[in-house]
Amino acid sequence: MMQFVWLACALCLIVFGMGALALGMARHYQQVFGTPAPAGSARRWRLAGSGALALALLCCTVGWGVAIGIVLWVGLLAVGVLVSALALAGRR
């Protein structure tokens, strides 16, 4: 049961992290907020995104053990990329 709590945490962190990494790209920032990205914002979004992904790895390894946790994390990364891309696809 606890495993699924960790899984849910990791999934949220990864979706947030991948979303943040996307906002760290000028084109997607413009897509989402409608204005060009202010100076320095890309760096902050990328930092936040990487931090969230790292935290998610921690969640996976704590809940699922190191070996299986890493496999789980890599699998969830794909989910994060696709969720972010599909969320952005609806916007011009």
- What residues make contact with another protein under the rule CB under 8 A? 3-4, 7, 18, 21-22, 25, 28, 64, 67-68, 71-72, 74-79, 81-82, 84-86, 88-89
Region of residue 40 (left: phi > 0; alpha: psi -120 to 50; beta: else): left
How big is the CA angle at 79 (ends 88 and 52), to the nearest 5 degrees? 85
**Identity of the residue, 38 or 75, whose beta carbon is nearer to another protein in the bound complex:** 75
CB 20 to another protein: min, Å:
11
**Which one, 4 or 34, has the nearer CB to another protein?**
4
The pair phi, psi for residue 25, each rounded to 5°, is -105, 130
